[in-house]
A and B are shown apart, each in its own frame.
Chain A
Amino acid sequence: QQPVQSPQAVILREGEDAVINCSSSKALYSVHWYRQKHGEAPVFLMILLKGGEQKGHEKISASFNEKKQQSSLYLTASQLSYSGTYFCGTGYSGGSNYKLTFGKGTLLTVNP
């Protein structure tokens, strides 16, 4: 099953903060976050692994709650360049971490 992302869309003014959530009904091994601008390919932002290891963009932070099977992406002091659709991709415990299942995306619009 696809992970569920919330909200589906959010509109911010430059400098405001946002949180995007990704929830799964299955036990997670990893969560991968991507941003996609219109007409372009998704771009890797961050990966979080079960056990606490993470790697990603220096200006973006995220959390991974293994018990709740969810991850949150924190966008602080948003810039115009943050606009785009954010996707989470999940790898499942017991399955292959090389196969990801993506959520439907969250559209983030940052206005001046």
Chain B
Amino acid sequence: DAGITQSPRHKVTETGTPVTLRCHQTENHRYMYWYRQDPGHGLRLIHYSYGVKDTDKGEVSDGYSVSRSKTEDFLLTLESATSSQTSVYFCAISRLLERIDEQFFGPGTRLTVL
């Protein structure tokens, strides 16, 4: 499972409240990612990180911010949650195995914004 955990695993919140999701890894991987998954859309990249304090936007970054102050933690923040951000959020890491990088996913966080 590449040592990836996500917290919380489920969250229900109200529109307009801030929400922070945490991704934690134990294997010191450089690259970490946040995706959201919605029916009919597949997995879409929100933000990713290529090192401590080094982050970049993905294809659906509006309304989200990220931070990475330690190698092992990558935080996703919804500054003011909206109903359109109801989704399943997956964290992933990129792991180099036999010279080929592979992405491995965490267990996911189901977020409901009422």
B-binding residues in A (CB < 8 A): 2, 32, 40-44, 47, 49, 53, 55, 87, 89, 97-105
Known contacts A42-B105, A55-B98, A89-B103; A104/B40 CB under 8 A: yes
Task: Judge whether B103 and A101 touch: CB under 8 Å.
Answer: no
B101, CB-defined interface residue at 8 Å: yes
B3, CB-defined interface residue at 8 Å: no
Task: Judge whether A47 and B102 touch: CB under 8 Å.
Answer: yes
* Secondary structure dominating the interface of B: strand
Task: Judge whether A98 and B104 touch: CB under 8 Å.
Answer: no
Task: Judge whether A98 and B48 touch: CB under 8 Å.
Answer: yes
What's the tally of chain B residues with a CB closer than 8 Å to chain A?
25
List residues 32-66 of chain B with CB under 8 A from any CB of chain A: 35, 40-45, 48, 50, 58-59
B112, CB-defined interface residue at 8 Å: no
Q: List 6 A-B contacts (CB under 8 A).
A: A40-B108, A41-B107, A42-B43, A42-B105, A102-B42, A105-B42
A17 to B67, CA, bound (A): 45
